Amino acid sequence: MIPTPALAYQTRCIVADGGVMITASHNPSEYNGFKIFNSNGESLEDSTILVTDKPAKNKLKQEYMLGRVRGGEPEGYTKRLSSIQFKKKWRVVLDAGNGGTGILAPEIYRATVGNVTAINSYPDGNFPGRGSEPTRDSISTLSKIVGEMKADIGIAFDGDGDRLYVVDEKGSCPLQDRILGSYLSFLARESKGPFIVPIDTSMAVDEALQGTGAKLIRGPVGDAKLLAEMKKESASFAGEPSGAWIHGEYHPCPDGMLSGLLYLRQIEQQGSSVSRAVEAIPEYYVVRKSLSVSNDVSRLDPKLLSEGLEKIVGKNSTTDSTYGLRVSSEDSWVLVRESGTEPVLRVTAESKRPSVAGRIVKDTLALISRVLKGRI
């Protein structure tokens, strides 16, 4: 078993015609699907197909020639990541969440950063250690161990290893938008971008780049869509608050293990720590919720929703329907969009005050329910 980024990298490394990963990514195992990569290791948009037990409608055509199957380790990928060097030894705690990084991540990090403690490293598709998606609640064990061991950093990965979640040396779980903002502030000292982030990213990222001259572009949510935006804008980096970061210099697939190494190397180069890097980033309050909608989303009247959101956000608000429906005021915003991987609506709100962000999400969820039930 190997993580998704390793397969994507190896697809290009061995000059294969394409690659296919069977994975539910950060989702529960019942959402297993095929993630398809082209010969360059690039994820194809909308290529994750839900696997069901229903028979195929059409018979598969007979193959025109026999292929070959061979096993092996992702040597090219392991060698590339192991070449990232550090000047000192760091104390790192890794949480693979019983996912695809459990075997490779400890090996690679021991070869690069030195002192590594690994938890939930045995691959198990039932994810007994924690949920497949690392969240503040699900990685409480990692946070506790980092604090008790006085480690320099804790890094959790999702089920297939294309996302990371960073815990600081105190065992605290910063808003990952601020982790992303701190990394971008480091990159901006070396490059003016452009850097790509999705539309649901915190305003803290914008402020992190103020005065640097770096260009920030907001695009759609989803790594395949962000990759397309990267290519369009000739960008070398794109990152989501979810921890899916793409480093074009290395390869075009989001990669949690690679991102953790490069983030820690920036911390080393700046002579900083994770907590100090995060403290330099403005603090906003982001609330993210999901609402199961099944097939009801087709009954969600965009005009009624837009008008309702404008009332919720307040005066002088502006509306952007480019990627979902986002309504913004000077210091707050709310975004409603369909998930690309689950039958749910994602609702994200941000404000300088936690009570305001919470109220906006609560009122938005109630608004969606009323619109769906035809009570508006």
∠ Cα 82 115 3 (to 5°): 45
The strands making up 318-320's β-sheet, listed across from edge to edge, are 285-292, 344-351, 332-338, 325-328, 318-320
296 sits in the region (left: phi over 0; alpha: psi -120 to 50; else beta) called alpha
Parallel, antiparallel, or unpaired: how do β-strands 164-167 and 153-157 relate? Answer: antiparallel
- Type of residue numbered 7: L
Question: What residue has token string 């760091």?
Answer: 90
Adjacent-strand bridge partners of 167: 154
Question: In sequence order, what E strands does 211-324 have?
Answer: 216-219, 237-239, 245-247, 285-292, 318-320
∠ Cα 108 112 113 (to 5°): 110
Residue 108 to residue 5: CA distance in whole angstroms: 14
Kindly state the tokens that stand for 22. 């069977």
Q: Show which residues are catalytic.
A: 25
Q: Spell out the alpha helix ranges (H) of 155-301.
A: 176-187, 203-208, 223-233, 256-269, 274-279
Q: What is the DSSP letter of 56?
A: P
Closest CA to 99 of 31, 243, 2, 244: 2
Kindly state the tokens that stand for 80. 């590339």
Closest CA to 116 of 135, 98, 140, 95: 95
- CA-atom Rg of the chain in angstroms: 21
